[in-house]
């Protein structure tokens, strides 16, 4: 059997869903473990850590790379059963400088195509896999804690599944193979159910939507991106860059959700701080200085985190990886999350300016009244002194 084709009958194809396939499924879990991470210090704390840059298998500009390159750490772990499959013994973690970590479990695939339905369902909201990923994130945090600013494992988690099925390679060794486009056309409904982790039948509209975002670079590869999972059809070793971009998009979604929640908390504090600006507090020097300074620090921290996430991976222009990223961002609604975060950052800025403006105005009015009183006293005092004599 070569790649996806697995020719079993006189027509060159087995029964629908029973064609043997090979590949690997990557179950990725993104966590936030701190405000920022000194990757050089973290690398010194780890024995087997190494920088993980993109390795494009297609022509791409030289600037298509992480800035800075994240740190990859691989550790041995107990396997976790997932229906007819199980995770591999190695679990990898990718550590980003803006405080995020992505935990990846690899699941070797070998069996009938229909078995992916069971694997996809087993991956969906799997408590054992989720607990193992969180435990690995916590262990990693403890290993590199001195290198992590404001270290804390957040409650939020963002998971994503990437199914990489080995399609036929370049002409010469698999020229009789079926193209990925034809393969998908023959198994549309089944593959849509795999992407949606749906054990039941899907409507034709749902099938079209699940398979709508697709992109191919060569006749032997294809990527289909959905909001819950992605399907890669490519020869072995020729989709690592695409998988890395999808993993980063999942991390970015986690960070935008985390930042959005943090901004909600900051807005609540800002509203409270604005209500506390009274005449009495305004007359006390430095009464609200600590609260206003804390609000300003939070505003700067959130802005730095937003810029750090958005500048970590530069993908510009129309090259293939840039289009993959834009498609993934659209499916994960990253533009909407970015807009929400920017809007809340602007709201925090507006509230901060109103608080400081109101404090300044009330202090100026207080000073004006003090000056008026002093003038009145200077006018009245001569008469009081004269009358006293």
**pTM for the whole thing?**
0.80
> Is the pLDDT reported for residue 215 higher than 90?
yes
Average pLDDT over residues 20-40: 93
Residue in the structure block whose two tokens are 């078995």: 115
CB 334 within 8 A of CB 254: no
pLDDT of residue 19: 82
146 vs 382, residue with greater confidence: 146
Q: Which residues contact 348 (CB under 8 A, 6 or more apart)?
A: 263, 266, 267, 270, 295, 298, 299, 302
Least confident residue range of 91-100, 113-122, 195-204, 360-369: 360-369
pLDDT digit string, tens, across residues 99-112: 999 999 999 999 99
Give DSSP secondary structure letters for 31-79. Answer: EE--SEE-HHHHHHH-SS-EE-----SS---TT-SBSSPPEEEEEE---
Q: Which residues of 111-141 are buried (b: 16+ CB within 10 A; e: fewer)?
A: ebbbbbbbbbbbbbebeebeebbbebbeebb
The alpha carbon of residue 377 and the mean position of all alpha carbons in its chain are separated, in whole angstroms, by: 65
Structural domains of the chain, ranges and CATH numbers in brackets: 20-238 (no CATH), 248-385 (1.20.58)
Report the run of H or E that residue 149 belongs to, with start and end. Answer: strand 148-149
- What does DSSP assign to residue 319? S
226-240, 296-310, 342-356: which has the highest mean pLDDT? 226-240
Average pLDDT over residues 26-55: 82
pLDDT of residue 9: 35
282: number of Cβ within 10 Å: 19
pLDDT digit string, tens, across residues 255-271: 989 988 888 888 787 76
- Both ends of the chain: CA-CA distance in Å? 119
Taking the C-alpha atoms of residue 85 and residue 129, their distance in angstroms, rounded to an integer, is 13
Q: Which residues contact 193 (CB under 8 A, 6 or more apart)?
A: 117, 120, 199, 200, 201, 202
> Is the pLDDT reported for residue 176 higher than 50?
no
pLDDT of residue 232: 95
295 vs 25, residue with greater confidence: 25
Classify 119 as helix, strand or coil: helix
Closest CA to 266 of 296, 243, 246: 296
pLDDT band at 372 (very low <50, low <70, confident <90, very high): confident
Report the run of H or E that residue 106 belongs to, with start and end. Answer: strand 100-112
Least confident residue range of 102-116, 212-226, 282-296, 363-377: 282-296
Give DSSP secondary structure letters for 226-253. Answer: -SSEEEEEE-TTS-HHHHHHHHHHHHHH
Q: Starting at the edge strand that comes first in sequence, how are the strands of the sheet with 214-215 ordered? A: 50-51, 71-76, 90-95, 100-112, 20-32, 158-166, 229-234, 222-225, 214-215
- 10 Å CB burial of residue 75 (0-12, 13-18, 19+) is middle
Q: Which residues of 160-186 are buried (b: 16+ CB within 10 A; e: fewer)?
A: bbbbbbbbbbeeeebeebbbbeebbee
Average pLDDT over residues 261-286: 65
CB 98 within 8 A of CB 73: no
């Amino acid at each position: 059997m070569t790649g996806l084709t697995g020719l079993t009958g006189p027509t060159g194809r087995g029964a629908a869903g029973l064609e043997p396939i090979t590949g690997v499924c990557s179950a990725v879990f993104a966590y936030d473990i701190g405000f920022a991470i000194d990757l050089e210090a973290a690398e010194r704390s780890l024995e087997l850590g190494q920088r993980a840059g993109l390795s494009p298998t297609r022509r791409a500009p030289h600037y298509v790379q992480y800035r800075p390159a994240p740190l990859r750490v691989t550790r041995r772990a107990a396997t976790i059963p997932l229906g007819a499959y199980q995770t591999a013994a190695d679990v990898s973690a990718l550590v980003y400088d803006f405080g995020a970590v992505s935990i990846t479990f690899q699941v070797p695939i070998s069996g009938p195509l229909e078995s992916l339905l069971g694997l996809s369902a087993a991956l969906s909201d799997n408590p054992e896999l989720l607990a193992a990923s969180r435990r690995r994130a916590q262990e990693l945090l403890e290993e590199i804690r001195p290198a992590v600013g404001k270290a804390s494992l957040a409650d939020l988690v963002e998971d994503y599944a990437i199914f990489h099925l080995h399609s036929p390679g370049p002409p010469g060794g698999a020229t009789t193979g079926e193209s990925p486009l034809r393969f998908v056309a023959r198994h549309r409904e089944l593959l849509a159910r795999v992407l949606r982790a749906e054990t039941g039948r899907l409507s034709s509209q749902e099938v079209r939507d699940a398979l709508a975002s697709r992109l191919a670079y060569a006749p032997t590869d294809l990527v289909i991106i959905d909001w819950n999972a992605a399907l890669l059809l490519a020869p072995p070793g020729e989709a690592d860059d695409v998988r890395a971009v999808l993993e980063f998009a999942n991390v970015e979604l986690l960070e935008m959700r985390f930042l959005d929640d943090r901004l909600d908390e900051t807005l609540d504090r800002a509203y409270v701080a604005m209500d506390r600006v009274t005449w009495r507090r305004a007359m006390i020097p430095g009464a609200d200085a600590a609260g206003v300074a804390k609000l300003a620090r939070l505003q700067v921290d959130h802005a730095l985190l937003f810029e750090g996430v958005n500048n970590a991976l530069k993908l510009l222009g129309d090259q293939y990886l840039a289009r993959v990223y834009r498609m993934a961002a659209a499916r994960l609604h990253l533009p909407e999350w970015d807009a929400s975060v920017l809007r809340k950052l602007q709201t925090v800025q507006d509230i901060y300016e109103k608080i400081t403006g109101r404090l300044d105005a009330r202090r100026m009015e207080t000073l004006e009244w003090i000056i008026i009183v002093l003038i009145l006293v200077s006018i009245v005092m001569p008469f009081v002194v004269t009358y006293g004599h």
